[in-house]
């Protein structure tokens, strides 16, 4: 749940109520009516209006900035891979594979037979 006074951007208009998509606004109230599909009341200062909006139609500024940073980082890595003719890096970025550091799997410890029987017996008592 978003806080009151938090700056949000309108990213969609799912109920076609002529929301100013792309403009920012501030959350001024929660709509606590359970029969209503709208979650927040957002004030858009640019046009000096209040709108009832669902959660899906708004996004925090920080989230949008992080998405843009991720997109720019991906694009710059693609440009670097093309400039250096690094085919492996290019394929990894384009296919969305994990990097080598992330792909290291943790080795799961195996249970001894005695521990397994003990665990089964404990569950049998319950």
The domain spans of the chain are 7-60, 63-95
Strands 58-60 and 7-10: antiparallel
Query: Span 57-61, mean pLDDT?
Result: 93
Instruction: Tell me the three state secondary structure of residue 75.
Output: helix
For residue 76, what pLDDT is reported? 93
CA atoms within 13 A of residue 93's CA, in its CB half-sphere: 18
CA–CA–CA angle 89, 93, 98 (5° rounding): 95
pTM of the model: 0.63
Mean pLDDT of the chain: 85
% of the chain with per-residue pLDDT over 90: 56
Residues 6+ away with beta carbon under 8 Å from 33: none
pLDDT tens, residue by residue, 78-106? 999 899 988 888 889 888 866 554 444 44
For residue 117, what pLDDT is reported? 79
pLDDT at 19 over 70: yes
Look up the CATH number of domain 7-60. Answer: 2.30.30.40
For residue 104, what pLDDT is reported? 43
């Amino acid at each position: 749940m978003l806080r009151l006074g938090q700056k949000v951007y309108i990213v969609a208009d799912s109920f076609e109520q002529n929301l100013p998509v792309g403009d920012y606004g501030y959350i001024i109230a929660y709509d606590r009516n359970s029969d209503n599909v709208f979650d927040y009341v957002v004030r858009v200062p640019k046009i000096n209006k209040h709108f009832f909006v669902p959660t899906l139609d708004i996004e925090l500024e920080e989230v949008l900035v992080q998405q843009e940073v991720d997109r720019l980082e991906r694009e710059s890595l693609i440009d670097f891979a093309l400039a250096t003719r690094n085919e492996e890096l290019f394929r990894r970025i384009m296919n969305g594979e994990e990097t080598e550091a992330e792909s290291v799997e943790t080795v799961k410890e195996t249970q001894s037979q005695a521990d397994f029987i003990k665990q089964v017996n404990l569950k049998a008592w319950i």
